[in-house]
Amino acid sequence: MRHSAAIIGGSGYTGGELARLLLEHPHIELTQMTSRRQAGAFIHSVHPNLRGRTKLQFITPEQAQTSDVLFLCMPHGEASQQIDRWSALATRIVDLSADFRLRSPELYRKWYGESHPAAAWLDRFVYGLPEFQRARLRDAKLASGVGCNATAVNLALAPLARAGLIDSVIADLKVGSSEGGASSSASSHHPERAGAVRSFAPAGHRHQAEITEQLMEGPHENSDRAFRLHMSVTSIERIRGVLCTAHVMLKRHLEDREVWKLYRELYGSEPFIRLVKDRQGLHRYPDPKILSGSNYCDVGWEIEPDTNRLVVISALDNLMKGAAGSAIQCMNLMSGFDETAGLTFPGLHPN
């Protein structure tokens, strides 16, 4: 029996990716997709890659009916303003905005500059990164989205952080233009965006809050998990993709075999994390170019000899593992489906 799914706020890039995945999902029927601006238009008029795959038309959010699972893809701040209404429409909800990613109202106020409008709901949402929260997601009715940059950093550093080996990190991220969303702006105007290598968050990126909560806080057998995190984000001339180069200052030098052991122990059975560290070849390190359209995160590293510096590199598609793909992975766990259902596309090469 197929479950019904609805997407609230489906005209953006993330909504389009969700629709693409749900239309191919073996256990899901996409029954509703909302957009105020596009109400009445066919889905393929906004997401042309879906032409011939569905005859659905956009409806207004006010017309949304009940469904088994609801994906909220609205701009930041909107889902939390109406969470009581959305929770009455579905048994399970995955919110892809930043509204429910943090557990702490104080941390939310610090990073988003305002009080959370539905702070009582924060503890009810499970952070939507299955690699960290798989057991909780299996019993969850509510899951948050994940920040694409936070996901790249979290998955790059988790084995080291959980072992209490990190003293400090400088995480440098290069990101594609789709991270800015589907709405145009001065920075997305072609003469300004083409050829760009533009720092837009040299410090103070909001995704640091998620990294702090997921890597440095919470119960764990090793309590010495806190470290200094410095993070910079730069726009480059790509449409999709995040490349994280994390310069990790360790508390002691690690040999390569020790790093392999840490990463294999944590990620050896993960379906969507691949360790990429070959001795030679063009693709011996992670590269977001080969991950377009896939739910994989590739992780690799290089040790600086005779120092405590370890460079960890991670790559992912920001619209997939950084958004829609992780959301489907969460839904699969929440619904009792195979975790990989609808997510096995390996990416494109060349593209």
pLDDT band at 222 (very low <50, low <70, confident <90, very high): low
Q: What is the CATH superfamily name and number for domain 3-125? A: NAD(P)-binding Rossmann-like Domain (3.40.50.720)
Helix (H) or strand (E) run with residue 148 in it: helix 148-162
Domain ranges of the chain: 3-125, 149-318
Pairing of strands 242-250, 273-275: unpaired
Distance CA 162, CA 250 (A): 13
Query: At residue 35, does pLDDT exceed 50?
Result: yes
- The topology (CATH level 3) of 149-318 is Dihydrodipicolinate Reductase; domain 2 (3.30.360)
Query: At residue 1, does pLDDT exceed 90?
Result: no
- Please pick, among 148, 244, 297, 330, the residue that the annotation labels catalytic: 148
Helix 325-335 vs helix 130-138: crossing angle, to nearest 10: 30
Distance CA 137, CA 127 (A): 8
User: Dmax over Cα atoms in the chain, in whole Å?
Assistant: 63
| Active site annotation includes 148 | yes
Query: At residue 219, does pLDDT exceed 60?
Result: no
In this prediction, residues 322-337 reach a mean pLDDT of 98
Distance CA 288, CA 189 (A): 23
Distance CA 248, CA 186 (A): 35
Q: What is the pLDDT of residue 190?
A: 79
For 60-98, write each residue's pLDDT tens digit.
Answer: 999 999 999 999 999 989 999 999 999 999 999 999 999
Position 48, amino acid: P
Least Cα distance to 129 among 157, 106, 103, 101 occurs for 101
Kindly provide the b/e burial profile for residues 204-221, where b requires at least 16 CB atoms within 10 angstroms of the residue's own CB. ebbbbbbbbbbbeeeeee
Query: At residue 220, does pLDDT exceed 60?
Result: no
Least Cα distance to 222 among 288, 266, 177, 285 occurs for 266
For 173-189, write each residue's pLDDT tens digit.
Answer: 999 888 888 877 777 87
Query: At residue 218, does pLDDT exceed 60?
Result: no
Cβ contact 13:319 at 8 Å: yes
pTM tops 0.85: yes
